């Protein structure tokens, strides 16, 4: 992941990115502190190099600060007996899921079969038959949203 220095930014733009991402300043406040007119900050933030630097800085901050902090918070809540069992159970599932340790459900494993484009005619017919109720439900929802345009009065 490139550092902010890898982008072709002026010192003023680097300061703006640092104030917004690292110090959590509002864009208008960061603009004033970096020497920009507050109303020009959004135009500056849309410049490709500045936008990329902001995005990369946020990703780096999440990887270095946010994720470890979130993990420590989750871990402390999981170990805290005063937190409700329901909250700890929900948090446990989420932590395990994000770490890739949750076994796929039956629905997940069936969706990992063949792609529709790779199915034979018989496999497609069986797929449609197995999923007809869901197909009917979706078609019904779509039909209920349709607007009648036959009358142009």
The string of DSSP letters for 2-55 reads --GGGS---HHHHHHHHHHHTS---HHHHHHHHT--GGGHHHHHTSHHHHHHHH
Q: Is the pTM of this model over 0.75?
A: no
Contacts of 51 (CB under 8 A, 6+ apart): 45
- Looking at the domain that runs over 4-102, which CATH code has it been given? 1.10.10
Tens of pLDDT, residue by residue, the chain (153 residues): 455 666 789 999 999 999 999 899 999 999 999 999 888 899 999 999 999 999 999 998 888 888 899 999 999 999 999 999 999 999 988 888 888 887 666 655 555 578 888 888 888 888 888 888 888 888 888 888 777 666 655
CA distance 33 to 22: 14
Domain-by-domain residue ranges, the chain? 4-102, 116-145
Cα 125 → chain centroid: 35
């Amino acid at each position: 992941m490139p550092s902010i220095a890898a982008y072709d930014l002026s010192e003023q733009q680097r300061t703006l990115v640092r104030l917004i991402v690292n110090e959590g300043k509002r864009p208008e406040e960061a603009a004033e502190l970096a020497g920009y007119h507050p109303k020009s900050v959004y135009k500056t933030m849309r410049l490709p190099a500045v936008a990329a630097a902001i995005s990369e800085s946020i990703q780096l901050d999440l990887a270095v600060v946010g994720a470890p902090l979130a993990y420590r918070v989750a871990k402390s809540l999981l170990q805290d007996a005063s937190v409700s069992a329901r909250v700890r159970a929900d948090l446990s599932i989420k932590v395990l899921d994000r770490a890739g340790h949750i076994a796929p459900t039956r629905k997940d494993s069936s969706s990992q079969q063949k792609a529709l484009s790779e199915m034979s005619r018989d496999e497609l017919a069986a797929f449609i038959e197995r999923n007809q109720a869901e197909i009917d439900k979706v078609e019904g929802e779509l039909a209920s949203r349709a607007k009648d345009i036959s009358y142009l009065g």
